[in-house]
Amino acid sequence: MYDDYHCTNCLGGQLSPSLVNLTNLRYLDMSSNDFSGIQVPAFLGLLKNLRYLNLSSAGFDGEIPHHLGNLSHLRYLDLGWNSLSTKDLGWIAGLSSLEGLVLSKLNLAAAQDGL
């Protein structure tokens, strides 16, 4: 039997940097949680084997860390529906395997370096 358990706003607080020890991690979905006022951790850019990263609707705030551009194997990235902004979109060029990108409802008005 398969139970599809969906948890909304179950996690909050700071993400632990110990996540970088999960060297084989390929899929990380932290969407629909409550990280209100927390910045997207720069250490996520060290998860080199990630293929899928979904941080949508999770309450993240602040500047999008350019270190995410180090995720060259990433195929899908969703940062949408957070209070995130950036002045430079150049980091996206490092995502050479990217097939899907969602930046819905982000503040990109100040971005100088476009796609």
Predicted pLDDT at 13: 79
Residue 26 tokens read as 């390929």
Q: What's the CATH code of the domain at 84? A: 3.80.10.10
Q: How open is the CA angle 49-28-41, to the nearest 5 degrees?
A: 85
Number of independent structural domains in the chain: 1
Radius of gyration of the chain (CA): 14
| CA–CA separation, 63 and 76 (whole Å) | 20
First to last CA, the chain: 45
Confidence of residue 115 (pLDDT cuts 50, 70, 90): low
- pLDDT tens profile 62-114: 999 999 999 999 999 999 999 999 988 999 999 999 999 999 999 887 776 55
Do the domain assignments include residue 95?
yes
Do the domain assignments include residue 24?
no
Provide the 3-class DSSP secondary structure of residue 43: helix
Do the domain assignments include residue 114?
no
What is the extent of the structural domain holding 55? 29-102
- Strand order of the β-sheet with 100-102 is 27-29, 52-54, 76-78, 100-102
| CA–CA separation, 91 and 31 (whole Å) | 21
